[in-house]
Copies of this chain bind each other. A is one copy, B any other.
Amino acid sequence: MSDTATMQAVAKTQSGPGFETIQAEVPTPGPRDVLIKVQATSVCGTDVHIYKWDTWSQGRIKPPLIVGHEFTGEIVAVGAHVRPNESQVGDFVSAESHIVCGTCQQCRLGLGHICPNTRIIGVDTDGCYAEYIAIPVENTWRNPASMSVAVASLQENFGNAVHTVAAVDVRGKTVLVTGCGPAGLMSIPVARAFGAEVIVATDLSPYRLDLARKVGADLAINPATENLAARASDAVRDKGFDVLLEMSGAPPALVQGLDLLKPGGDAALLGLAPGKLTDFDLNNLVIMKGVTVHGIAGRRLWETWYQMRALLAAGVVDLQPIITHEFPLSRWRDALETMASGKSGKIVMYPGE
């Protein structure tokens, strides 16, 4: 590639709603970076937040910025200090989107997923809604050749689901999944693969409840129109759930989920609420029941990736049914609007199409 090579990319060019298609320079990898030709990139709810320019985005995003952080592709160049056992030209890789510092206490303890110095691809550094992206070699993960690029792209988000499920012990347990957006949907086959006896999923959207059934929920219930406790009663033998996986961020889902937990149950929380909780009965929902609540951030580096690899290699989790839409990258607007509509699972885009 010559120094002046350019590429198509999707960027937030100025403060305010919306993205633009731009021509950008193909990035030059630093000494410990690799340059990846993007083969597929998938849409995350965070991308929609940045697109719509919500409060969080306004405080965090510094335009101009190429967006997107879920992707897969082929390595086309490596920096001078990249060792062959780390990455080589031709490798088919996905990327961990969290660039961690490697030197803080969390990183030195193997807890990079909560490194306080984390920079996120497509949020703090240029992202993958583009033909090429350069990232640190430490952030690459080699995929098997047999994996589809669509599934390979999804792994970053899949990792949130795997991390959430793996944070608790679901072996032989009754599990309530509140929220059937992409991460919630993906958590269902993972909970099954890791030994859950019964999985009950909830959402307000009939579209998503259908997807939940498709990926293996024993029951998929709309708690606004059905009596969740009564419907689940047989499945949990009148006892409450052993485990709550809160994937929605909706406060009523959190409260109902904790209320339906058994004494001594575990709750893993991935969903982020729209704001502070204004009416939360910590005494009865957590303390007096002896519940343990696990806040979940990102993916364990690299435990979660090894778990993902195993789940996909064993064939016990099939992400294909969760991919509901595919677009060329040039139709990013359609992709984002579809995601925003709530009537989708995961959406994958393909640069260069």
Chain A residues close to B by CB (< 8 Å): 81, 83, 85-86, 103, 105-106, 108-111, 113-116, 166, 171-173, 193-198, 239, 254, 262-264, 269-273, 276-283, 286-298, 301-303, 306-307, 309-311, 313-314, 316
Contacts and interface: CB of A to CB of B under 8 A. Distances in A.
Interface of A is mostly: loop
A195 B195 contact: yes
A116 to B, nearest CB: 6
Contact of A116 (B166, B263, B271, B283): B263
Closest 7 pairs between A and B when the two form their complex, measured CB to CB: A110-B110, A172-B310, A114-B263, A197-B310, A172-B307, A287-B295, A108-B302
A154 to B, nearest CB: 17
Contacts of A270: 287
Contacts of A309: 172
A310 B108 contact: no
A283 B272 contact: yes
A109 B108 CA distance: 11
Contact of A313 (B197, B297, B313, B316): B197
A272 B296 contact: no
Given A111-B264, A273-B282, A280-B277, A198 B291 contact: no
B171 A307 contact: yes
Given A105-B239, A194-B195, A264 B114 contact: yes
